[in-house]
Structure 1
Amino acid sequence: MTSAVTTESSARPGYGQLLRTPGALGFLLPGFAARLPFGMLTISILLLVQHTTGSYANAGIVSAVTGISMALCAPLMGNLTDKHGQSAVLLPVVLVHAAAVSALVALALLGAPVLAIAAAAIPAGASVPQVGPMVRARWAAKLEGSPLLPTAAAFESVTDEFTFVVGPVLATALCTGLHPSAGLITEATLSLLGGLLFAAQRATQPKGHAQTATGGERASALSFPGLRVLIVAFLGIGAVFGGMQVSMAAFSSEMGNPGANGLLYGVFAAGNMLAGIACGAIAWKIGPRRRLLLGYIGLTATASLLWTADSMVLLAAIGLLVGLCIAPALITGYTMIEALIPANARTEAFTWLTGAVAFGQAIAVIVAGRLTDAHGSSYGFLVPAAATALALVTLLSLRAKLAPRAGGRIVSSSDTPQGREDRGRQRDLTTV
C-alpha cells in the first residue's frame, strides 16, 4: 500500500478540498451550532452567579465545579459513544443538559445558597455534549489514512479556538445587555437544537463497537499508553489557557486598564488561530511525534517568559508567541490519535484529550487565582510555565510510548485483514 507519510509529504491538501469531502458540511454546520455553547458555559455561569451573589469567589467556585465535572465525565460519554453510536448518546445528553442548566439558572435567580448552585453545576458540567470529539471521530472515520487528516485536525483546532473567542463575547453581551441569565439560556438552547440536528446526521457517524471484530470486549482508549502521555501534554495546554485567563485579567487591572484584558487575550487567541490555519496548509516532512515535541518545546519556552512582562505591549507580544506555539502541539496531538488508538475507541480518546484541557484549565484557574491574590499577576503566570515544563519532561521521557509498537499492536489487536492493513500503516508512520 502507499505510505501515508509519503502521500502526505508529496501532497498539499487544502481546506477547500477538505470541505468538499462528501457529507462533511452536513455534520459541520449543526456541529458548530452545538459547539459554540462550549465557549459560553463557564463565563455565563460566572457572570450570573456573580450578579446574584455579589461575589467573584463564589462565581469562580461554581465555574470550576462545572469544568471539573465536565472533564471527569467526558471520557465516560466518549466510551458510551464508541459502544453505542453518537446519536444514541447525544439525544438524551442534550435533554439532560438543557434541564440541568435551567435548574442552575432558576436556583441562582431565586437566591439559593452557593452550595446548592454548585450542586446544580455538577450535572450541568457532566452533561456538556461532547460534539467536538464526535466531529473529530467523524473526520477520522471518513479520512482514515488520508493526507487530509492533519488538515481536518487543524480545521477543528481553529474551530475550537473560534468558539472560545466568539462564545465568551456573545455570552458577555447577552448577560450585560439583556439579562444576567440570557447567556445560559442561549447556551442551553443552542446545545439542545444544535445537538438534535447533529444527531440527526446518522449517515456520517461512525458505527458503535460494543465488541471487537473477534467478539472480545472493546478495550478502553485509556489502556493505550500513547494516549496517557498525550493526556499529560493536554493538561499542560489547559493550564496555559486557565493561567493566562486569570493572570491577564489581573495584569490589566494592575496596569490601571481592566478593559485591555479582552484585547490581550484576543491577541493570544489570534496567534493560536493563525498557527492553526498554517498547520493545516503545510505539507509536513517530519513525523507527528517530532512535531509534537518541537511544538511543546516552543510552548514551554514562550510560556516561561510570561512572568517577565512589565508592559501591555510586551505581554501582548509574548502572548502572541504562546498562541503560535499552542496550535502545533494541540493539532498534532489530535492527529496522532488515528495512529495510536483503534477506530472503535477514538471518540473516547478525543474526549480524554478534551477533558484534559478542561481539567488543566480549571485547576490552573484556581491555583493562578490564589497566587495572583496573594502575590500579584506575575506569580499567576508561573502556573502555565510550571505546567508546560512538567508536561515537556514527561513527553521527552516517555516519547517512545507515542510510537506504535512493533507490528502495530497498539492500533489493532485483531488479525483481520483490516488489522493487518492498520499495522502496515503504523510501520509507515514509525519511519518518520
Structure 2
Amino acid sequence: MPSANYRSLLRTPGAAAFFLPASFGKVGGAMTSLSIVWLVHAHTGTFSAAGLVTGGFAVSEALGAPQLARLVDRFGQTRVLPPALLAHALAVAALVSLVAADASDALLALGGALVGVSVPQLGAMSAARWAALLRTGRAAELPTAFTLESLSNAVAYLVGPASVSALAAAGHPVVGTALAASLSVGGGLLLAAQRGSAPSPAADSAARTRADRSSLRGEIVVLMGLNLAIGVYFGAMQVSVTAFTVEHGAPGATAPVFAVSSCSGLLAGWLYGLRRWRAAPPVQLLVTSSTLTLGTLLLLTVGSPFGLGLVVVLTGATVPPLLVLFSVLTESTVHQTVLTQAFSWLGSASAAGSATAAAVSGWAIDSLGSRGGFAVTATAATAMTLQSLAGLRLLRTPQRQSTRGEPSTGS
C-alpha cells in the first residue's frame, strides 16, 4: 500500500501518542491569531485595533518562541510544558477580560503580546521527538516523519481559520478564542504526559554551551535566511492573490484559488514523503526552490483567475517539500540538545518574513497593482534559490556535533 511508510511510522511505539496530541494542539495554534482578530473587532468595531493587538501577538510570539524552546531544550518538555500551558491559558483569559472591559488599545496590545509570548511551540516539540525517536537506526525515515509534521500543519491551517471564521460569523468570537486555547492547552498537556518519547536535555552546562554555539553556525544562518524568504513568499502571496481576484472582478474566486493551492500542497507533500530520494537534501532544496521561482515568475503573466488557479497548483506543490527539507537539514546540522530551539528560530524567521511581506506587498500593490505583489513573491523565491545555491556546499557537508547513536529517554 502506498501509505505503508506513514502507517509504519505511526505504529512505532510512542509515535502516535505524541504526534496526534501535537496535531490537535496545532489546530488551536492555527486558530489563535485569527481568533484574536475576530474577538477584538467584534467588541471595538475597528480593524485597526484588531490589527494592533494581532501585531503585538505576532511580534511577541516570534521573539518568545525561541526562548521558550531554549527552556524546553535545557529542562525537558515534560517539565516546561505544563507551566507554559498554564501561562498561555491565563494570558488568553486576561485578553478576553480586557476586551470585555473595553480596555484601551494599549492594554489590548499588551494582552495580545502576553498570549503570543506564551504560545506553546508544539510543532517544534513534536519534530524534536521524531528526531529523537528515529535518530538511532532509522534516520532514513526522518524525511517521511517531517512530511507528516508538514501535512499536519497544512491540515491545521485549513481547519483552524475556517472554524474560527464560522464561529465569528455566527456571532460567537469568544467561543472561537476559547476553543483555540482549549485545543492548544489540551494537546500540549497530552503531549507532556508522553514522557517516554521526550528528548533528553543536555546533561551538564558545558554540553549546553557547546550545543548553543553549534546552533549559531553558518548552516543555521543559511536555513534562517531560507525561512525568512519563504515567510515573505507566504505573506505576499496571501495579499497578492486577494488583490488579483478583486482587480478582475471576481472576489469570490479568492477562496477557491487558496483551496486549490492548499490541496495541491497536501497531495504533493503526501507523495513526497512516500519516496526515499537519492539526491542529497541540499540538491533537492535547490531544485525545489528553483521550481518555486519558476512558478512565481509565471504568476506575473497570468491574466485571469482561472490562469491563476493553474499556476498556484505548481507553487502550492513546491511548499511542503521545502518545509520538509528545512527540517531535515536542521536535524542533520544542529546538536540534538538544542534542536527544539533551532526549529523555533526557523519558525520565528518565517513569521518575521510573513509580517514584513504583508506591509511591503501592500505598498507594491497600491503602486503597481497585483503584479507588484507577485513581484514580491518572485523576489522571495529567487532569493531562496540563490541562497540554496550559495549554501549548497555548506549544507552538503554539515558538521554534526551529535551522534545518531545517542539514546533518547524521557525527560
Opposite residue 62 of structure 1, the aligned amino acid is V
SS in 2 for 1:411: coil
Structure 2 residue corresponding to 1:70, chosen from 52, 58, 61:
61
Q: Does structure 2 conserve the Cα–Cα contact (< 8 Å) formed by 1:82 and 1:210?
A: no
Q: Does structure 2 conserve the Cα–Cα contact (< 8 Å) formed by 1:221 and 1:348?
A: no
Q: Which residue of 2 aligns with 1:139?
A: 130
CA distance, structure 1, for counterparts of residue 239 and residue 280 of structure 2: 35
Structure 2 residue corresponding to 1:269, chosen from 258, 262, 271:
262
1:288 lines up with 2:281 in the alignment: yes
The percentage of counterpart residues that share the same residue type is 37
- Write out aligned runs for 1:47-66 (5 A): 47-66=38-57
Distance 1:97 1:270, change over 3 A: same
Opposite residue 287 of structure 2, the aligned amino acid is L
Structure 2 residue corresponding to 1:223, chosen from 202, 207, 216:
216
Larger deviation, residues 290-299 vs 109-118: 109-118
Q: Which residue of 2 aligns with 1:44?
A: 35
How far apart are residue 21 of structure 1 and its match? Answer: 0.8
How far apart are residue 280 of structure 1 and its match? Answer: 0.5
Deviations 1:296-331 (A, max 9, x none): 111122123323332111111111211111122111
Q: Which residue of 2 aligns with 1:103?
A: 94
CA distance, structure 2, for counterparts of residue 310 and residue 132 of structure 1: 38
Q: Which residue of 2 aligns with 1:251?
A: 244
CA distance, structure 1, for counterparts of residue 269 and residue 260 of structure 2: 14
Q: Does structure 2 conserve the Cα–Cα contact (< 8 Å) formed by 1:84 and 1:210?
A: no
CA distance, structure 2, for counterparts of residue 123 and residue 215 of structure 1: 28
CA distance, structure 2, for counterparts of residue 293 and residue 210 of structure 1: 37
Deviations 1:223-273 (A, max 9, x none): 222111111111111122211222222333333333332221111111211
Q: CA RMSD in A?
A: 2.3
- Write out aligned runs for 1:347-362 (5 A): 347-362=340-355
How far apart are residue 13 of structure 1 and its match? Answer: 6.7
Q: Which residue of 1 aligns with 2:230?
A: 237
Deviations 1:18-57 (A, max 9, x none): 1111111111121112111121112112222333333334
Larger deviation, residues 211-220 vs 374-383: 211-220
Q: Does structure 2 conserve the Cα–Cα contact (< 8 Å) formed by 1:174 and 1:182?
A: yes
Q: Which residue of 2 aligns with 1:206?
A: 199
CA distance, structure 2, for counterparts of residue 356 and residue 228 of structure 1: 10
Larger deviation, residues 208-217 vs 363-372: 208-217
Larger deviation, residues 291-300 vs 203-212: 203-212
- Write out aligned runs for 1:385-400 (5 A): 385-400=378-393
CA distance, structure 2, for counterparts of residue 112 and residue 310 of structure 1: 46
Larger deviation, residues 102-111 vs 337-346: 102-111
CA distance, structure 2, for counterparts of residue 289 and residue 395 of structure 1: 7
How far apart are residue 391 of structure 1 and its match? Answer: 2.9
CA distance, structure 2, for counterparts of residue 45 and residue 257 of structure 1: 28
Opposite residue 283 of structure 1, the aligned amino acid is R
Structure 2 residue corresponding to 1:325, chosen from 318, 323, 327:
318
Q: Does structure 1 conserve the Cα–Cα contact (< 8 Å) formed by 2:237 and 2:374?
A: yes
SS in 1 for 2:196: helix
How far apart are residue 152 of structure 1 and its match? Answer: 0.3
Distance 1:114 1:317, change over 3 A: farther
Structure 1 residue corresponding to 2:143, chosen from 135, 138, 150:
150
Distance 1:220 1:110, change over 3 A: farther
Distance 1:388 1:216, change over 3 A: closer
Q: Which residue of 2 aligns with 1:164?
A: 157
Moved over 4 A (4+): 212-217
Q: Does structure 1 conserve the Cα–Cα contact (< 8 Å) formed by 2:23 and 2:153?
A: no
How far apart are residue 373 of structure 1 and its match? Answer: 4.2
Q: Does structure 1 conserve the Cα–Cα contact (< 8 Å) formed by 2:208 and 2:337?
A: no
Opposite residue 30 of structure 1, the aligned amino acid is P
Opposite residue 40 of structure 2, the aligned amino acid is V
Opposite residue 49 of structure 1, the aligned amino acid is V
How far apart are residue 114 of structure 1 and its match? Answer: 2.6
Deviations 1:272-302 (A, max 9, x none): 1111101100121111110111111111221
